[in-house]
Structure 1
Amino acid sequence: MREPTPQDSARALTGWAAEQGIDPAELERIQRGLDPDDPVRSRAGHLQSPAILVPGLAASPWHDPDRYPWVDALESRYPRIRDEFEKQYASDGIGRHPEERELAATGGWNAYHFHTMGTPFPEHLAQCPATAEALAAVPGVADAGICYFSVLAPRTRVKPHCGFVNTRIRCHLPLIVPPDCRMRVGTETRAWREGRCSVFDDSFEHEVANDSDRPRAVLLVDTWHPDLTEIERRAMEFVMRMWTSDVD
């Protein structure tokens, strides 16, 4: 068994489009994004180098939260979401982050998932009703990527890395932020403010640090890049499901 390659995904996408009766021209950008030799990669530069880089999408490391109406649904429920997080954290219900070994240079990284590439976690959603209510207001939250409570242990640093697609926009709702915590996206480093969302494009190189002696916690939420068409979103749902399961 092996992980799919962009070439695997391109071939599978062609077959999926034929089954769905979709004009291949409507998926041209997605197919180009799966081509490791497409010229868009050389233009993007080393700070934006995901495995799948779809051309024609506005590219900026940081986004203005005011651009996204659903941000208010998260921020307005911040106290209740934080309470739900603290309950799960106190009960030891938060497990190891699947990428901890690969990306955590020091310390520890934990996660409590609500959605992962189209797969929901119904028990977790039921245990956190205010969080589930807020997430329901975010377009594509169930299938654009991942959504979870992300916890960095004290003295934890996450290595510089790029997300694997540029078709999503990522949001952090900071729940618990001690001093000496920060995140760099592209060339700019920012700190979090509890209860105020940070919105960014994780296909740009980014790294995270908690240099304090207390845990840092955020609610991490993915949504679709606003420049995608509806058909392109459906295509990316198909492609991302391939990347979360083994293929022969």
Structure 2
Amino acid sequence: MTPETDAAFDAIRAEFGPDSLARVEEMLKPGREGDRHPLQKGAKWILPGLSQIAWHDPYGHPELAPLVKELETQHGAIKKELTEAWTRRRDAFSDYEHYLTRQHNWQALYLYRDGGIVPESAVTAPTAHRVLKEFAVDTRTICPLLESHFSTLLPGAAVAPHCDLWNFSINLHLAVDIPEGCSLTVAGETRSWEEGRCLLFDYSFQHEARNDGDRPRTCLLVDLWHPETTPPERLALVALITEVRRLMGEM
């Protein structure tokens, strides 16, 4: 904690009550591992009290269901625009840079990054841009610490097993273009994407992905707040992680 985070936390407590950040404070106690699943051991931060569920029902959270429904409804238009972008605007894609690695066979086209919508995505992928803005950004269900992008795994590509940094956001996948031979494994359970449908999972659990097909596999990924986090916790977590990144020279 720094004076900046202390001040931010004090302001949040003054607005929401003295106990509003109890779980965040518990998470930050020195040496605290907390009650975490063995397959969450690689995550840096585990906010206590959140359900330890690896796979979530995409329609199981009222806060997120409107986004899921609209993405699935607009799948046809989203796929058409993605295909055109991949064919005619390949320079809009870049190697995906995960916090662990950078992969040339994992391409990304960003819709949301660094806390805001990527303006160019309104031209490159207008339907996805609109849905994301109306149903995730404007509703504040997107986690501003992270991103949304089209994730394209080239044939033969694999994302090695890993845990992401924390459990207070979860990952939504819209299956945009899915060849045979693709899989996603989370907490030891392997599933396949169904084109036009969404998957939702907690990526603090160990997970991996493969494309053993003969053409690129593309999903639209959206990092969303875990629906069991509260508004004051979200404010505090943004202040905390922003300060950590500043101290690490990432901002």
Q: TM-score range by the shorter chain?
A: 0.7 to 0.9
Tell me how far apart the structure 2 counterparts of residues 11 and 76 of structure 1 sit (CA, whole Å): 46
Kept in 2, the 8 Å contact 1:161–1:207? The answer is yes
Kept in 2, the 8 Å contact 1:185–1:207? The answer is yes
- TM-score normalised per structure 1: 0.86
Tell me how far apart the structure 2 counterparts of residues 198 and 209 of structure 1 sit (CA, whole Å): 15
Confirm or deny that 1:34 pairs with 2:34.
no
Q: What whole-Å deviation, never above 9, does each CA across 1:21-50 have from its counterpart, x for those lacking one?
A: 45553212112223462251xx31330132
Tell me how far apart the structure 2 counterparts of residues 172 and 164 of structure 1 sit (CA, whole Å): 18
Aligned to 2:55: 62
Kept in 2, the 8 Å contact 1:116–1:146? The answer is yes
1:124 pairs with one of 103, 107, 121: 121
Aligned to 1:150: 151
Confirm or deny that 1:184 pairs with 2:182.
no
Confirm or deny that 1:48 pairs with 2:40.
yes
Aligned to 1:94: 93
Tell me how far apart the structure 2 counterparts of residues 210 and 247 of structure 1 sit (CA, whole Å): 34
Q: CA RMSD, aligned part only?
A: 2.3
Deviation larger for 94-103 or 151-160: 94-103
Change (3 A) 1:53 1:242: same
Confirm or deny that 1:137 pairs with 2:131.
no
Kept in 2, the 8 Å contact 1:100–1:109? The answer is no
Whichever residue aligns with residue 173 of structure 1, its letter is L
Q: What whole-Å deviation, never above 9, does each CA across 1:69-126 have from its counterpart, x for those lacking one?
A: 221011001011111211221111211101298265xx71111111235233122234
Unaligned runs of at least 5 residues, structure 2? none
Change (3 A) 1:215 1:35: farther
Aligned to 2:108: 111
Aligned to 1:175: 176
Query: Aligned to 1:67, what secondary structure does the other structure show?
Result: coil
Unaligned runs of at least 5 residues, structure 1? 1-7
Confirm or deny that 1:17 pairs with 2:12.
no
Kept in 2, the 8 Å contact 1:144–1:224? The answer is no
Tell me how far apart the structure 1 counterparts of residues 142 and 9 of structure 2 sit (CA, whole Å): 23
Whichever residue aligns with residue 28 of structure 1, its letter is A
Tell me how far apart the structure 2 counterparts of residues 126 and 246 of structure 1 sit (CA, whole Å): 35
Identity, in percent, stands at 31
Kept in 1, the 8 Å contact 2:164–2:204? The answer is yes
Change (3 A) 1:103 1:61: farther
* Number of corresponding residues: 236
Deviation of 1:53 (Å):
0.7
Tell me how far apart the structure 1 counterparts of residues 75 and 99 of structure 2 sit (CA, whole Å): 26
Tell me how far apart the structure 2 counterparts of residues 101 and 144 of structure 1 sit (CA, whole Å): 17
